[in-house]
Structure 1
């Protein structure tokens, strides 16, 4: 085995041994957070409208991760873990479901105040 072959083999082993690389969470800049009535379900929902830059980054993120489960977090606490069935290109997301009374309003107020960190990342363990 020559030196170059050993270097390539050693690099491949190192990469294989380190496992898959997890991407850093994507931090979203939210332009507006409001509780609205979801027209599709009739439930109350949290509507998050992103800034143009975040909308583009989020669109790229969702295009690259269709079919995967993602965690949407506010200040490090996961608030939703949907499976991406298609790219989300409009810079807006609606969160609805089993939230405690008043929880959506509290989230909207916290995000609107500007101090909350909203992130999205691919869930570490993907269900089958």
Structure 2
């Protein structure tokens, strides 16, 4: 029995070392989702403000994954896949890019109504 335990432990360590054991996606609790004007590209953006607990969890997640690409999903659909340059510690994220007219507003409404989960996960390579 002890040998079996050692074999399982060794296999788990090997998987972790190889990066094959993936953590579950982190689900974020959003306190506020609002469409704002992003002055840099001159277009609309979706601002997501997290609850304090989610902000701390997200800070830990981004700190552990600097240099990696992450998928940010809303309702199970990836909306952006940025490469983390530095930890995101403020508890807010901005989603911008090429979206159909009204799409960001619809996302904000779905998130605010609790009809769409917001998750982050390390992008599979």
Q: Which has the larger radius of gyration?
A: 1
Partner Cα distance (1:102, 1:59) in 2: 30
CA RMSD of aligned residues (A): 2.2
Partner SS for 1:34: strand
Alignment check: 8 A CA contact 2:26 2:120 kept: yes
Change (3 A) 1:26 1:9: closer
Q: Distance in 2 between matches of 1:50 and 1:67?
A: 22
Q: Runs in 1 of length 4+ with deviation above 4 angstroms?
A: 7-11
For 1:109 and 1:86, how far apart are their aligned partners in 2?
29
Unpaired segments of 5 or more residues in structure 1? none
Aligned to 2:31: 31
Give 1:80 deviation, angstroms: 0.9
Counterpart of 1:77?
77
Q: What is the distance in 1 between the residues matched to 2:50 and 2:95?
A: 14
Q: Aligned in 2, Cα 1:10/1:30: closer, same or farther, shift over 3 Å? A: closer
